[in-house]
Amino acid sequence: MNTVLLTLGRLPKALDLARSFHAAGWRVVVAEPFRRHLAGASNTVARSIQVTAPAQDRARYLADLLRVVQDEAVDLVVPVSEEVVHVAALHGRLPARTRLFSMPQDVVLAAHDKGRFAAQSADWGLPVPATHPLGSGEGAALAAMQDVVVKPLHACSGRGVRVVRRGEALPDADAPAIVQARIQGGERSTCSLVHDGVVSGTVVYQGVMQSGSVSIAFERVQDRLIEAFVRDYAAATRWTGFLSFDFMLDDQGQPFAIECNPRTTSGLHFFAPDDLARAVLDPAHPLRHRPDTRLQQFYSCLTETQLSLFRGGGFGRKLRTLATTRDVTWSARDPMPFLTMTFTTWPIIRAAMASRASFGEVATLDVGWRAEHALSAASAAP
């Protein structure tokens, strides 16, 4: 039996992947910094192994993953979320039998860096907003002409993002960041699976309910312009792995890519579960959409609905969404992840309460990419 290693287990996306690979006849192992986690409660996971968090010690994290690959005779490594930027460094370090479903780290970093992504996309003629480094004359000139958004280069889940009105002073450049023209329209996101620049499948979706800046209920939509952007970017980079983007629509409906997420997003839940693993393994396998066009993360939506009673506004709409939308985690054949979710996600819930932040904002803090990681990667480069 072949073995797949998922490099994160705490998110519903990992559960989708675990269930799909198990259904395809693979043994599923999860490497996770948390001792308990969502996917670990699934009957589709053969083993969960606790590893060092990359935020704690990046070199030790990679060493831990290599040990798991060796000990568990892993055939395929599949990154799940923000940890992909670290896991991509395993290219060239894995046993010959082991495949990594990711681009090399330098390519992942170029996509993850909001400034480099915008510059690269503009060079290829792809629609992105005007984007300049914070602290540059071009950035200051852009902010004098119109509203802008200031973002850390490697921000995730809206952390550190600020809207600056036209003519207002820009914040100090105490950390690498960009100044980007603000497009005031609808927001859409994507999730795609790609092999050597050819897209196997793309989901375009938009938020229905938010927790902070993170969508916790979402609906699948059609947008041919966005799908064309994904195809063009994937082809230009010869991408292999999961690939996702966030877009803003202008008043004409033209989408502009505001950032790239070189990983899965919540759009993954809209892929047909039986197709997902097989499409990772075989570029020719069709990757269809599941029939549901609306999905939710039930417990997050329940919390947001309850909070709306006290914060004012939207309770009725949120309650209808909660009552009528399918949860991404529940499965009658694998019920424990849903039933034990409060227990398995308690480390994230506790951190969110302590910092007064949303679940999504803190869920990947220990596995995300930070400025010091960028410096260490640069110093390690030949």
Q: What is the pLDDT of residue 354?
A: 80
pLDDT at 378: 42
Q: Which helix (H) or strand (E) holds 111?
A: helix 105-112
Neighbours of 312 (CB within 10 A): 7
Distance CA 245, CA 226 (A): 9
| Residue 24: predicted pLDDT | 97
* Per-residue pLDDT at 188: 97
Domain edges within the chain: 130-181
pTM here?
A: 0.92
Tokens of 185: 């329209």
Distance CA(334)–CA(43), nearest Å, equals 6
pLDDT of residue 10: 96
pLDDT of residue 375: 42
Q: What is the DSSP string of 206-264?
A: EEEEEETTEEEEEEEE--HHHHHHHHHHHHHHT--EEEEEEEEE-TT--EEEEEEESS-
Assess if CATH 3.30.1490 describes domain 130-181: yes
In this structure, how many other beta carbons lie within 10 angstroms of the beta carbon of residue 378? 9
Q: How far apart are the first and last CA of the chain?
A: 38
Q: What pLDDT score was predicted for residue 157?
A: 62
Write the pLDDT tens digit of every residue in 262-288: 999 999 999 999 999 999 999 999 999
**pLDDT tens-digit series, residues 313-359:** 788 888 999 999 999 999 999 999 999 998 998 888 888 778 777 77
Residues of the chain with pLDDT under 50: 372, 374-382
User: What is the DSSP track for 294-356?
Assistant: EEE-HHHHHHHHHHHHHH-S-HHHHHHHHHHSEESS--TTS-HHHHTHHHHTHHHHHHHHHHT
Nearest by Cα to 37 from 361, 299, 363: 363
For residue 351, what pLDDT is reported? 80
Beta strands in 94-196 (DSSP E): 99-100, 131-133, 148-152, 162-164, 177-181, 187-195
